[in-house]
Chains A and B, each alone.
Chain A
Amino acid sequence: MSLASEPAQRAWGRLRDAPQIGLAAAIAALFIIFTARQPAFASSFNLFAMGRSLAVDVVVGFSQMVVLATGGMNLSVGAIGVCCVMCSGWLMHSLGLPPPLAFLLALALGATLGGLNGVAIARTGVNSFVATLATANLFSGAMLILTRAVPINRLPPEVSAIGSYRMLGFVSPPLVVALLLGAALFVFFSYSVTGKEMLAAGANPRAAALSGISVDRSIIVSHLLSGLLAGLAGLMVVVRVGAAMPAVGGEDWLLPSFLGPVLGGTALAGGSVAVLGALLGATLVTIIRSGLLVLNIGNFWLQLFLGLFLLAAVLAQRYRGIARARLE
């Protein structure tokens, strides 16, 4: 249309290129298909249950996203998560601490373990993949040695009360926390100096260092934040299950942690984050998981679908980049 001004066209182009639109469309389509096949899918109970597990997936994705921002990766998200789960359980059960204090201390443990990752990577200059693969096994191993893999079931009743509390009939409190966290992360990466420095360090470490940014500090902060978020995701599982289980997290979180951010358009090379995309990516994963369950397709094929989705997202991201490069 000749009437469309150039900025409007450019904005439309940007919108069309954004992976978020495709994701939102896929989410809407799947939601409609699943509800048509099985009306119980949209029941307030199923929405509540989905929201509760979505909150965990979202935060697990954020935990990986903040490290991807600096161009690294964190394979110990699940290991840190389960350490915080067991730590909070031990504090409440054995020391009798009230839940809020126990949760705060568990989060502090998560941040500390993440910080250790960051320091190990920044100090030694080792590939973040290998460093966090090693620490993941250190953390999980230490947790299993200390707890002997025995779950802690007797937690104060308030803990599971948070998990089963429903706002407006179908909204789970952890989901609200996850959404607020998304908003906070968006502000952090868009406006705060530390957040912008992290992105600059991820985009081009040498240039960032030359312009006076401490790349090491950015790496440490990103891992510290990642550990904190992994711990938070673990605590969300504690309130959902009402117990501290040593089987939470671990390698089961590896795929979801990458799925959300990568589906949502966060670049693996570092230097950019897509908070809304990560939220939508996690939503897509949760809908597929719940849909397959409700339709009785069985969980066995779930991993195949998730793998193919991740592959498709990566390929789409890649070819979108090539197409754009050709246009310019």
Chain B
Amino acid sequence: MTAVRRAIGGDWAGLLAVLVLGGVAAAFLSPSFLTEFNIYVMLRSASVAVLVAFSQMIMLAVGQMNLSVGALGGLVAVLFGGMLERLGLPLIIAIPLALLVGVAGGLINGVLTSRTGVNGFIVTLATGSAFTGINLGLTESKPFHGVPREFVALGDSHWDFIPALLWPPLIVAPLLGVFLYHLKAGRWLLAVGGNPSAAQLSGVSADSMVILAHAISGGLSGLAAILAVAQLGAAQPETGAGWLLVSFAGPIIGGASLAGGSVSITGAFLAVLVIALIENVLVLANVDPYWVQFMLGALIMLTVGINRWRAIRAART
């Protein structure tokens, strides 16, 4: 009983309700909403965004942040494209190599942050600029179009309304859950996020947990970049340029604590779906696309405000 209640009574029950009610409302408002193609397009763009959100979520779990999520994603995308087009590497080699680049970028962030003790914000602002610089310097802003046809086809393929690209986030989400809640390393990671000095006193190395979180974050943004290449059918240098906002919006609206130590995987997933739904409805309603940005800002503010109000109320009782 309690397990069931915990499963449905979590912070994300509200998000699920918003998603369902919003979907029903959208279906009534626009006949083109519930078409197979529309749902497929919506889920396909959410697939990349979910991984981007996870990439930031793991940093919030350890009580840090990563401003280079998008820049690293862009670098991985163009290196992946370059490996396919210029070097002619097969996918089976290029995909693991691209993921490795992501992990390596994350490791650089992690080592720099933990070794120097400098604010992770400024370190990743700097490395992010460097990643973007390498990306632009190598590509001179020109995309790689020589992506194998079968890979582009994979990006377009779908089973009914479920895009093939939705599988990676659907597989990553439970893996992250197992890691964070059932493996020792994951629990340590959350412990460091919740209270670094207490974790340190009980023998957990905060530094290695920060490095681990950054490595996972880098790997996830690399995976998101590979999906973005499949989705766009080309490796665009500007991949990742707009990821910053959604990377924070997903986990925060999903219920992650900004102080660290507590995140919700399901919540972040649902939050990204809600964002995708809002974007989709605005497009269908022919509203200015600029409203999306405004709404996202407002949603973050609202979530943060609600959490604050709850905390104050909880402190009073």
Q: Which residues on A are within 8 Å of B, measured CB to CB?
A: 73, 120, 124-127, 129-131, 133-142, 144-145, 148-149, 251, 254-255, 258, 262, 268-269, 298, 300-308, 310-311, 314-315, 317-319
Contact = CB atoms under 8 A, between A and B. Distances in A.
Contacts of A145: 288, 290-291, 294
B118 A141 contact: no
Given A134-B297, A137-B296, A138-B294, A258 B125 contact: yes
Given A130-B300, A149-B290, A304-B133, 19 more contacts: A124-B308, A127-B258, A129-B121, A131-B301, A134-B301, A142-B294, A144-B288, A251-B244, A258-B122, A268-B118, A269-B119, A303-B130, A303-B132, A303-B136, A304-B132, A304-B134, A307-B128, A310-B122, A314-B116
Given A126-B258, A134-B297, A134-B301, A306 B133 contact: yes
Contact of A304 (B119, B121, B129): B129
B300 A141 contact: no
B210 to A, nearest CB: 15
Nearest to B129: A307
B203 interface: no
Contact of A307 (B117, B130, B252, B288): B130
Interface of B: 65, 112, 116-119, 121-123, 125-134, 136-137, 140-141, 244-245, 248, 252, 258, 288, 290-298, 300-301, 304-305, 308
A120 B304 CA distance: 10
A314 B293 contact: no
B97 to A, nearest CB: 21
Given A141-B290, A304-B137, A307-B133, A134 B300 contact: yes
A136 B297 contact: yes
Contacts of B118: 268, 314-315, 317-318
B107 to A, nearest CB: 15
A111 B137 CA distance: 38
B290 A254 contact: no
A121 B16 CA distance: 29
B137 A255 contact: no
B304 A124 contact: yes
B119 A131 contact: no
B122 A141 contact: no
Contacts of A140: 293
28 contacts: A125-B308, A126-B308, A130-B300, A133-B244, A133-B248, A137-B294, A137-B296, A138-B294, A141-B291, A141-B292, A141-B297, A144-B288, A144-B293, A148-B288, A251-B244, A254-B125, A258-B125, A298-B140, A301-B136, A303-B133, A304-B133, A307-B126, A307-B129, A307-B132, A311-B123, A311-B130, A314-B122, A314-B123
Contact of B305 (A124, A133, A149, A314): A124
Contact of B248 (A130, A300, A302, A304): A130
A255 B245 CA distance: 16
Contacts of A300: 133, 136-137, 140-141
A315 B112 CA distance: 9
A23 B293 CA distance: 38
Nearest to A309: B126
Given A303-B129, A307-B127, A318 B117 contact: yes
B133 A305 contact: yes
